[in-house]
Structure 1
Amino acid sequence: MIDVEQLRKEFPILSTEVNGHPLTYFDNGATNQKPKVVIDALEEYYKGYNSNVHRGAHTLADKATGAFEETRTLLQKFINAAKSEEIIFTSGTTEGINLVAQTYGKTNLSKGDEILVSTMEHHSNIVPWQLIAAEKGATVRPIPISDKGEIIFEEFEKMLSDKVKIVSVVHASNALGTVNPVEKIIERAHAFGAKVLIDGAQSAAHLPIDVQELDCDFFVSSAHKMFGPTGMGFLYGKEAILNDMPPYMGGGEMIKEVSFDGTSFNTLPYKFEAGTPNIADTIAFGKAIEFINKWGKEEMAAHEAAILKYATEKLKKEVPTAKIIGEAENKVCVLSFIIENIHNYDVGMMLDARGIAVRTGHHCTQPLMARYGLEGTIRASFSAYNTFEEVDRFIEGLVRIVKMFG
């Protein structure tokens, strides 16, 4: 197990107070907090070597370019991509999915084709496919889930056919914590010739990721859920597929040669990275990856699993009017629930008064909430820096709220 108290010292915000109480931050599924090394990297770039990348022949440009491209190499190793050229920098998971939909989807979808997504998807893995499907005359079909919050694999297999061109599923659900059997999903989808995109926003920081072993065609994630900055993320794609896809945006960097007679495009990864990139946040993202590597993803995940188990058992024991939504056998550190006769928003506001941050509402998964007949849930999502004492404060707060509502 990791030394949690030592780990917490790396995060300046964790020593602050909210409403006169120590901050208890249980909204890590939305974004997690940033270690000092990430914060310092942003300041160091702007203070010490602020410059554009790839284009300058001077010292600052060389230093910025080296630090920028180092993050690409770190990401390649982090997910075990075959080449660093298969890593495309994006603004986050949402842009990564839209990029694939508007390039691969636009080129390869035709009228009557089908795109399969799961019922538990975040809106960002539904709406981009709906947009391109409407344009191309294709259909987006939801894979059903069980009451426990697991994909019904037999139903998924029944949906597969030669019409299915894309399967896009979340690796770990932001609203339920469910870890989907993506290995089996990829294998079965490939048997029918479909390409598979994995939304790794909630998995990249918690689960082992090996895109070559998974054999996924695309994998997307966001830096801000991996201890990195907001507005930064990446798309992994198999080299051959990326080479066949048209550019997503036009502009500087993504070109090889431009004339009024026509334009030729740059090689990977730059073909998909038009314009001045998010340099500072990309460099800081590299520091976040190094931070995860330093503390050990497996060790951090083990602590998170222990926190989830403790919080789940304590909630069931001490708050009997609570109902957990999503009880899959395999979960990441998300505890989503409702409390009988108390609105989820009221619970969130009253916890906040005691310095406890949770997320309430539909969590950008309205079709999933409709599946359970709910407006929303209370979601406590944990990270490696959370403690058992914080869970105790959280449960104590819930007990007080239930008593207030009598």
Structure 2
Amino acid sequence: MSININRLMNDINELGKIGYVDGIGTTRQAYSKSFYEGRKFVEVLMKNAGLKTNIDKIGNLTGYLEGRCNEKIIAMGSHIDTVLGGGIFDGALGVLAAIEVVRAMKEAGYKNSHPIEIIAFNEEEGNVIGGTFGSNAFIGAGFDSVMLSKMTAQGLTKEDFYDSKRSSDNYRCYLELHVEQGGCLENQGVDIGVVSGIVGILRYKATVIGKSNHSGSTPMNLRDDALEKTCRIISEMMEAVRTFSDTMVCTVGTLKVMPGEVNVIPGTTEFIIEMRDVNLDNVLIIIDKIQTKWCERGFFVEEYIKQGETFCDEKLMKIIENSTRKIGYSFKHIISGAGHDLMNMAKFTPSSLIFIPSHMGISHNIMEFSKKEDIFKGARVLYETLIQIDKEGRINEN
């Protein structure tokens, strides 16, 4: 086997040019002109690799390679849409490396027993219709009612969504190679991240009630300043998270102060709390602790988004570990703080996620970067894992 890293890097760079603007980054949002151009580029690569391509009604591109036996499909992939001004590796690496793995496999003369399918999911980023929209349709998970008008704006119907569903009975497993989008692997000098799971997300609408009053004539000891209380609540919450868990994170990125006048003591604040962890029960403990302390002083929260935790398949993880060890690379178990199409695919078929280092942990940014040698290592691990699954099989039986 020989991964042609120069060929793979050329594919990454060429796709990265589609939608690229100097000083801004690559913008290839779902259903845009640049997205369709990028998808066509990938489709041609698939066809040149001997794959039979298909585009479903909501825009997912797949490339299919027959197997020698009547076996279930081994799927690999990721997404090819980007955020506004994004990098060239997020998502694209998983699709293009999968194509390179198939090319290398064929060049080595290996005859796969199982059919192999490469999936380039559409609208993973969620900027147009909703996050992981393409893989949601692929597994038939349904969609949020608020997405319907956005679908209509893109000429899509509910029937298009449901017609894009595949049957899990036809699939053995799903593998996704991705840049880490964090700095752990690089900081620790580790080659490969064997992802054990993706964090769940809870978001709360928070309100703090105080009392508006004149900023000049109200003494400090007679104030009920909503913003001051808010600052203390947020600070206590952040410290509680740091103390409680190494895997939990908490972010407050929006804050509305009312009445919002320079000479009026704030009477009300509204903000969003986002908390992520591999165990959402831990999040509930922190929220309950803060709410219990502050509820009588005007602090109220309302849950409005809940995305459950995802756990990668343990058998697949072992195969990835063995493949990595066989090649001679270092690895560690890691949790993904970012979402991926694997969140949906793990509900559909045994699934696992492989990370390579991201330079300085930067992603969704023109500065996103992974080293050529790290990309090579990730593609080699993906190749070896695919071969081991194809030879040993039986991943989603029993």
Flag whether TM exceeds 0.5 (same fold): no
Q: TM-score, normalised by structure 2?
A: 0.25
Q: TM-score, normalised by structure 1?
A: 0.25
Structure with the larger helix share:
1
